[in-house]
């Protein structure tokens, strides 16, 4: 269900008298209990990490304010749940209230944060001076610093798996990675990362690189590195469309991988929006009479946009029209706006935590490769974004055969009959795992669905040596007609395994990759010669 257009607001909000009475009564009881415990000196610190430091427990006034804040937040959330409004409106109320409550926490202000006050005294004011310097530095950058960015350099510390750029055009570069085994599977793998982020999330440091893992398992890996368009570009990149990304991006990269490897069919993998692009491009290829993919892997990917999680609060006709007016013909959807939006989906963790540590306490953020990548965003061509927003999030057109046309060809995901490995993350707030599972109702080949623990990124980037988290699967792949229609039924019958899903995937992929042959140390071929070493130049262009 989509949220109503902003033109329908304000929506009258009412709460049944018995429900509001119950909320008030519970609030009063808890308030009296907290006040009595505070008066007796027996008030315990709340189970909330924002108030977990010893300074809170040693300050009765601060401890009481923390409890009062949490109690008030609970009551306000209960009122939202009790409100007699459409569910779409309730989702927006939840989101708006979350933003306000996270911002209003007493931990966010020096005057009401005893931990920050204690540090101020212990450092004789140095922590506050450091915090002001951190704030001024972030104001100059125009964004909040979440990681020690001086510790990383792309091509030196991140994105270091050896390879060569073997093709480039105005939209992307294609990287071929050098073999690290004496023999490789005959059929190569092409990875299509999201174009709203940089590809090196799949190639962070050697110990957590998904690309390196695949190469070391004996796969010849090609990867798309999307261009990061800038306002200063004068070649028309800001007019690129969804169709351009399919034709000159994904399908061109497939042609390169086929030509270099000498294989008519290749294995393909898409991550997040990269998976949406990949499936769309393969459907376009099928409509044109081509069948280039022997297998399809989709990682945290939406093809059916009926359930889009917290992002649904931004989706309505008014927003779509505004973006089309602003960006429909040309222009850029900026990385700064995209990054801010995604950060405020989890404001406590990705915004206010750093306000407290960086500014109130003057601490330097630790070096964290994933957060360095998170801050290194990409701009998007305006026409691409406006089309994508309307046709996927708003109208959910991709799942309906023939509704989306590219070059006069109707896209039908039901024509994709290759074996598919579909992965979802259980705590994903961007692609809810039920929505990832919905892909199983659209494709027509044998399918293997795997559910990993954790969220959108941490669930995917989970190298086996770390022995972290877990995943759920069924022993055998399902035929398309055999997948349980209800994801809960699938999970009830699934087996949980400790550790990473990566080894399960490489075993599955090997079964679709042909015999092993002697690895060729030379990269590219006579037509597609190496242009520059990986990670290439496109990925090094920073949006801000």
Cis peptide before 10 (omega within 30 of 0): yes
- DSSP readout, 374-443? HHS---EEHHHHHHHIIIIIIT--TTSTTTSEETTEE--GGG--S-EEEEEETT-SSS-HHHHHGGGGT-
Contact by Cβ (8 Å): 308, 273: no
Residue 452: CA count within 13 A, CB half-sphere? 29
Of 352, 362, 432, 343, which is closest to residue 48 (Cα–Cα)?
352
Active site residue 272: yes
Tens digits of residue pLDDT in 400-445: 999 999 999 999 999 999 999 999 999 999 999 999 999 999 999 9
Q: What is the pLDDT of residue 480?
A: 77
SS3 of residue 212 by DSSP:
helix
Tens digits of residue pLDDT in 100-117: 999 999 999 999 999 999
- DSSP readout, 26-88? HHHHHHHHHHHHHHHT-PPPPS-GGG-SHHHHT-HHHHHHHHHHHHHHHHHHHHHHHB-S-HH
- DSSP readout, 433-500? HHHHHGGGGT--S-EEEEEESS-TTTTTS--GGG--SEEEE-SSPBPTTTS-SSHHHHHHH-EEEES-
Q: How confident is the prediction for the chain on average, in pLDDT?
A: 95
Cis peptide before 493 (omega within 30 of 0): no
Q: What pTM was computed for the model? A: 0.93
- Would the pLDDT of 286 be above 70? yes
In sequence order, the β-bridge partners of residue 370 are none
**In the structure encoding, which two tokens stand for residue 450, read together?**
């795997």
Q: What is the pLDDT of residue 9?
A: 52
Number of Cβ atoms within 10 Å of the Cβ of 411: 25
**In the structure encoding, which two tokens stand for residue 5, read together?**
């257009």
Confidence of residue 10 (pLDDT cuts 50, 70, 90): low
Q: What's the CATH number for 163-334+379-540? A: 3.40.50.1820
- Would the pLDDT of 3 be above 50? no
Distances (CA, A) of 212 to 159, 230, 464: 10, 30, 12
Contact by Cβ (8 Å): 194, 164: no
Residue in 43, 224, 272, 333 annotated catalytic: 272
Tens digits of residue pLDDT in 152-182: 999 999 999 999 999 999 999 999 999 999 9
Q: What is the pLDDT of residue 11?
A: 65
| d(C-alpha 267, C-alpha 296), whole Å | 6
Distances (CA, A) of 86 to 14, 73, 76, 106, 510: 11, 22, 18, 32, 48
SS3 of residue 163 by DSSP:
strand
Tens digits of residue pLDDT in 52-97: 999 999 999 999 999 999 999 999 999 999 999 998 899 999 999 9
Number of Cβ atoms within 10 Å of the Cβ of 156: 8
- Would the pLDDT of 8 be above 60? no
Lowest-confidence region among 61-70, 476-485, 497-506: 476-485
Domain residue extents for the chain: 17-122, 163-334+379-540
- Would the pLDDT of 296 be above 90? yes
Q: What is the pLDDT of residue 247?
A: 98
Helix (H) or strand (E) segment spanning residue 24 = helix 17-40
* Strand 380-381 to 332-333 pairing: antiparallel
Contact by Cβ (8 Å): 398, 303: yes
- Would the pLDDT of 394 be above 60? yes
Determine phi and psi for 18, rounding to 5 degrees: -70, -35
In sequence order, the β-bridge partners of residue 448 are 421
**In the structure encoding, which two tokens stand for residue 178, read together?**
């050098």
Confidence of residue 483 (pLDDT cuts 50, 70, 90): confident
**In the structure encoding, which two tokens stand for residue 63, read together?**
């401890």
């Amino acid at each position: 269900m989509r949220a109503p257009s902003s033109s329908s607001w304000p929506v009258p909000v009412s709460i049944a008298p018995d429900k509001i009475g119950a909320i008030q009564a519970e609030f009063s009881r808890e308030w009296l209990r907290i006040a009595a415990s505070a008066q007796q000196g027996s008030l315990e610190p709340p189970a909330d990490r924002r108030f977990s430091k010893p300074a809170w427990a040693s300050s009765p006034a601060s401890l009481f304010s923390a409890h009062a804040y949490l109690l008030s937040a609970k009551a306000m959330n209960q009122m939202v749940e009790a409100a007699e409004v459409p569910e779409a409106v309730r989702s927006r109320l939840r989101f708006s209230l979350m933003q306000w409550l996270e911002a209003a926490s007493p931990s966010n202000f020096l005057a009401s944060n005893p931990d920050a006050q204690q540090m101020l005294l212990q450092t004789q004011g140095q922590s506050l001076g450091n915090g002001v310097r951190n704030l001024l530095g972030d104001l100059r950058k125009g964004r909040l610093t979440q990681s020690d960015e001086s510790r990383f350099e792309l091509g030196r510390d991140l994105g270091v798996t050896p390879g060569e750029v073997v093709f480039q055009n105005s939209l992307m570069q294609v990287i071929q990675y050098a073999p690290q085994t004496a023999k490789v599977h005959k059929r190569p793998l092409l990875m299509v990362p999201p174009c709203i982020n940089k590809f090196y999330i799949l190639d962070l440091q050697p110990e957590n690189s998904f690309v390196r893992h695949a190469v070391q398992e004996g796969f010849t890996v090609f990867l798309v590195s999307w261009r990061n368009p800038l306002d200063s570009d004068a070649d028309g990149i800001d007019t690129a469309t969804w169709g351009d990304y399919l034709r000159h991006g994904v399908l061109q990269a497939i042609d390169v991988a086929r030509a270099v490897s000498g294989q008519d069919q290749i294995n393909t993998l898409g991550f997040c929006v990269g998976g949406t692009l990949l499936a769309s491009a393969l459907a376009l290829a099928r409509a044109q009479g081509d069948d280039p993919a022997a297998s399809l892997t989709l990682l945290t990917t939406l093809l059916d946009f009926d359930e889009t999680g917290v992002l649904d609060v931004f989706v309505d006709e008014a927003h779509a029209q505004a973006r089309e007016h602003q960006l429909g013909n040309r222009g850029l959807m900026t990385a700064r706006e995209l990054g801010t939006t995604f950060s405020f989906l989890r404001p406590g963790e990705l915004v206010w935590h750093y306000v407290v540590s960086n500014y109130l306490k003057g601490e330097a953020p630790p070096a964290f490769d994933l957060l360095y990548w998170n801050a290194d965003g990409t701009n998007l061509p305006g026409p691409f974004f406006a089309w994508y927003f309307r046709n996927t999030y708003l109208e959910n057109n991709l799942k309906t055969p023939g509704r989306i046309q590219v070059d006069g060809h109707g896209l039908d995901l039901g024509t994709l009959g290759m074996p598919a490995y579909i992965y979802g993350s259980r705590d994903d707030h961007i692609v809810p795992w039920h929505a990832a599972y919905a892909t199983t109702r659209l494709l027509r080949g044998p399918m293997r669905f795997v559910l990993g623990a954790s969220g959108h990124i941490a669930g995917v980037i989970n190298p086996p040596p770390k022995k972290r988290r877990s995943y759920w699967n069924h022993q055998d792949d399902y035929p398309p007609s055999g997948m349980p229609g209800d994801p809960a039924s699938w999970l009830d019958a699934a087996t949980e395994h400790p550790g990473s899903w990566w080894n399960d995937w490489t075993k599955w992929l090997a079964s679709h990759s042909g015999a092993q042959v002697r690895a060729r140390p030379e990269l590219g071929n006579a037509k597609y010669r190496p242009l520059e070493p990986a990670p290439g130049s496109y990925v090094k262009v920073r949006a801000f």
